[in-house]
């Protein structure tokens, strides 16, 4: 994985990326402290443990990507119960001739 971070412009913030198995090692609320936003894109099973840790955190913005509307709804409920509000959801129909739809949701505190 290659990551390019440019921090010479005063308006840009550094970006940190970590790839992790969210089933085995979800990010804990204390690991999320101080972050401005989190993007997570789990497999079809969703990210229940990660959603619970996010709900316990103080991260102001969460973007959730999902290939399964049912697990997206479950994880969204966990985030909502933890104080987040779903402010936008966008379906992405990227697979021609298939009923498969990706979802991207924005949650804010």
Catalytic residue among 67, 76, 79, 103: 67
Q: To 10 degrees, what angle do helices 69-81 and 48-55 make?
A: 20
Instruction: Please say if 67 is a catalytic residue.
Output: yes
Question: What residues contact 81, with CB distance under 8 A and at least 6 apart?
Answer: 55
Specify the 3-state DSSP secondary structure of 104: strand
Active site residues: 67
């Amino acid at each position: 994985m290659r990551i390019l971070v440019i921090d010479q412009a005063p308006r840009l913030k550094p970006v940190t990326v970590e790839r992790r198995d969210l089933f085995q090692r979800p990010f804990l609320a204390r690991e999320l402290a101080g972050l401005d936003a989190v993007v997570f894109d789990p497999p079809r099973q969703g990210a229940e443990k990660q959603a619970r840790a996010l709900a316990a955190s103080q991260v102001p913005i969460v973007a959730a990507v999902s290939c399964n509307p049912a697990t997206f709804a479950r994880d969204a409920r966990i985030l909502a119960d933890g104080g987040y509000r779903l402010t936008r959801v966008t379906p992405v129909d990227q697979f021609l001739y298939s009923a498969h739809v990706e979802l991207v949701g924005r949650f804010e505190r």
